[in-house]
Structure 1
Amino acid sequence: MSKKVLVVDDAAFMRMMVKDILTKNGYEVVGEAENGAQAIEKYKELNPDLVIMDITMPEVDGIQAVKEIKGMDNNANIVMCSAMGQQAMVIESIQAGAKDFIVKPFQADRVLEAVKKVLG
Structure 2
Amino acid sequence: EKYLEVKPDLVLMDIMAPDNLIDNTNWKESLNRFLDIDHEANMAMCSSLGQQILITESTKIGAMGFMVKPFEPGMLSVIKKIAEPN
Tell me by how many angstroms 1:45 deviates.
2.8
Identify the match of residue 115 of structure 1 among 68, 79, 83.
79
* Alignment of 1:88 onto 2:53: yes
| C-alpha RMSD of the superposition | 1.5
Q: Which has the higher strand share?
A: 1
Stretches of structure 1 that go unaligned for 5 or more consecutive residues are 1-40
State how 1:17-36 maps to structure 2 within 5 Å.
none
How many residues of Structure 1 are paired with residues of Structure 2 in the alignment? 79
Q: Normalized against structure 1, the TM-score is what?
A: 0.59
Among residues 93, 101, 106, which one is paired with 2:66 in the alignment?
101
Aligned-pair identity (%): 41
Distance 1:88 1:81 in 2: 13
Q: Whose relative contact order is higher, 1 or 2, with alpha carbons under 8 Å and at least 6 apart?
A: 2
Distance 1:65-1:86 versus aligned 2 partners, 3 A rule: same
Large movers: runs of 4+ above 4 Å: none
Unaligned runs of 5+ in 2: 19-23
